[in-house]
């Protein structure tokens, strides 16, 4: 079974991606085409523009993934595609292409939940077994999962408002820093004093595993407005200190809740994935929490933490091995909780 080879297709947000992966955890190719500058003038991902760009680029991404893997469609054992959750136009573009390939070649078709793709990535990259606790933290998601099997996820808690990546992006926009905001805020924060501004840690001391980031974002923006009102603008120092304070607060919130989760739901591994897991301060804080709890910390390489199709191919292989596949009636789902 280790020689099964799957094509994966991902188009649920603003990355168009295709990859070829084996059941033996080999990533033969992983192609990701971003759409960064297409949305630059709009301050966020525009669904119609994203869908059109996916439709234009998906074919090429698949071709490139096959060429890089040195395989033709005839050599594959199946096609896995993100069937949701996500921006519906993009998901539909991917699902249509996957159905076309399946219909044209007779290959099995497997629809994959994008979140399951993220959640199973530590298995692909590090070969860890079940169960593990997972923090999925990106521009669109923020949740703690207990992963018991490839189709068995328990959601332990999550954000009740914004995702942290979204908050990083918003803060960066309002401070005049480039998008995506996470890396810009992190770079500014490196020069800043995290203690200068008193920013809240919402819900941190409350029981349970839910998190909130919108109050923190609003508090940071109020500090910015107060500075602008008092001095007529922001100094370089102010920007750096605000970014450092904000990043420290997000880090405290995620690490604090992660510690609570591990205490209540012991597991041998704490894993992270999602774009925000690229942040050094946050990653280090989570690693410290894992060490203190005596559990292994697994953080996949950045290219596999953010949106990609290798995770979709991998999750598709797991569904297929469990005897599950879809037919041509597979539909794209904008919402699809795990």
The tokens describing 17, both together, are: 């991606």
Site map for Zn ion, 296-315, x if CB under 5 A? -----------x--------
Residue pair 125/297 in contact by the 8 Å Cβ criterion = no
Q: In the range 47-106, which residues lie near ligand KG4 by CB under 6 A?
A: none
User: Does 186 carry a binding-site annotation?
Assistant: yes
Binding mask 186-225 for ligand KG4 (x = CB under 6 A): x---------------------------------------
Nearest distance, CB of residue 185 and ligand KG4, angstroms = 6
Q: Which of 168, 197, 209, 314 binds ligand KG4 (CB under 6 A)?
A: 168
CB 129 within 8 A of CB 147: no
The one of ligand KG4, Zn ion, none whose footprint includes residue 223, by CB under 5 to 8 A per kind, is none
Q: Is 158 annotated as a binding residue?
A: no
Under 8 Å between Cβ of 154 and 334: no
Supply the minimum distance, in Å, between the C-beta of residue 193 and ligand KG4. 18
Only one residue has tokens 């946050």, namely: 282
Which lies closer to Zn ion via its Cβ, residue 122 or residue 192? 122
Cα–Cα distance measured from residue 216 to residue 231, given in angstroms and rounded to the nearest whole number:
23
Question: Are 224 and 235 spatial neighbours (Cβ–Cβ below 8 Å)?
Answer: no
**Nearest residue relative to ligand KG4 (C-beta):** 182
Rounded-to-integer distance, Cα 195 and Cα 290, Å: 25
139 binds, among ligand KG4, Zn ion, none (CB under 5 to 8 A by kind): ligand KG4
The annotation status of 137 as a binding-site residue, yes or no, is yes
Is 140 a residue that touches ligand KG4 (CB under 6 A)?
yes
Distance of CA 181 to the CA centre of its chain: 15
Environment class of residue 4 by beta-carbon count within 10 Å: exposed (0-12), middle (13-18) or buried (19+)?
Answer: middle
Nearer to ligand KG4, 166 or 252 (CB): 166
Q: Any bridge partners for residue 149, and if so which?
A: 152
User: Of 142, 184, 139, whose CA–CA distance to 13 is shortest?
Assistant: 139
Q: Report in angstroms how near the CB of residue 114 gets to ligand KG4 at its nearest.
A: 8
Question: Are residues 279 and 137 in contact, defined by beta-carbon separation less than 8 angstroms?
Answer: no
The secondary element (H helix, E strand) that includes residue 101 is helix 88-105
Question: Does the annotation flag 139 for ligand binding?
Answer: yes
* Residue listed under structure tokens 């999925």: 136
Q: Are 141 and 115 in contact (CB under 8 A)?
A: yes
Q: How far is the CB of 291 from Zn ion (least distance, A)?
A: 27
Residue 278 touches which member of ligand KG4, Zn ion, none, C-beta under 5-8 Å by kind: ligand KG4
27 beta partners: 21
Judge contact between 146 and 136, C-beta under 8 A: no
Least CB distance to ligand KG4 at residue 13 (A):
5
Least distance to ligand KG4 from the beta carbon of 11, Å? 12
**Residues in contact with Zn ion, shown as a per-residue x/- string from 72 to 111 under the rule CB under 5 A:** ----------------------------------------
Q: With CA atoms as reference, report the closest residue to 117 among 44, 17, 28, 47.
A: 17
Where do we find the tokens 């349970």?
Answer: 208
The residue among 120 and 220 lying less far from Zn ion, judged by its C-beta, is 120
Annotated binding site: 114, 118, 136-140, 169, 182, 186, 279, 307
Annotated binding site for substrate: 136-140, 169, 182, 186, 279
Q: Residue numbers of the site for Zn ion (CB under 5 A)?
A: 307
Q: Residue numbers of the site for ligand KG4 (CB under 6 A)?
A: 13, 138-140, 165-166, 168-169, 180-183, 186, 274-276, 278-279, 306-307
């Amino acid at each position: 079974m280790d020689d099964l080879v799957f094509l994966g297709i991902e188009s649920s947000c603003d990355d168009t991606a295709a990859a070829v992966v084996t059941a033996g955890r080999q990533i033969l190719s992983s192609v990701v085409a971003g759409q960064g500058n297409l949305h630059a003038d709009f301050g966020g991902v525009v669904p119609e523009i994203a869908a059109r760009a996916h439709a234009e680029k998906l074919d090429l991404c698949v071709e490139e993934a096959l060429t890089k893997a040195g395989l033709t469609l005839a050599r594959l054992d199946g096609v896995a595609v993100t069937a949701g959750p996500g921006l519906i136009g993009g998901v539909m573009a991917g699902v249509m292409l996957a159905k076309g390939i399946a219909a044209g070649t007779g290959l099995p078709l497997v629809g994959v939940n994008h979140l399951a793709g993220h959640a199973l990535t530590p298995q692909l990259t590090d070969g860890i077994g079940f169960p593990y606790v997972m923090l999925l933290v990106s521009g669109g998601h923020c949740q703690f999962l207990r992963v018991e099997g490839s189709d068995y996820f328990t959601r332990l808690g999550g954000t009740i408002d914004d995702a942290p990546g979204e908050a990083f992006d918003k803060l960066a926009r309002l401070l005049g820093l480039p998008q995506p905001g996470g890396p810009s805020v992190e770079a500014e924060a490196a020069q800043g004093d995290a203690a200068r501004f008193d920013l809240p840690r919402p819900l941190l001391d409350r029981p349970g595993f839910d998190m909130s980031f919108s109050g923190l974002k609003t508090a940071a923006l109020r500090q910015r407005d107060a500075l602008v009102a008092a001095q007529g603008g922001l100094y370089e120092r102010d920007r750096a200190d605000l970014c450092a304070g904000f990043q420290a607060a997000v880090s405290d919130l995620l690490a604090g809740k992660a510690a609570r989760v591990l205490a209540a739901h012991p597991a041998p591994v704490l894993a992270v994935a999602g774009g925000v897991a690229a942040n050094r301060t946050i990653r280090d804080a989570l690693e410290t929490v894992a060490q203190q709890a005596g559990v292994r910390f697994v953080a996949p390489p950045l290219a596999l933490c953010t949106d990609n199709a290798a995770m979709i191919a991998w999750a598709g292989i797991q569904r297929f091995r469990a005897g599950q596949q879809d037919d041509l009636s597979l539909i794209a789902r904008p919402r699809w909780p795990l």
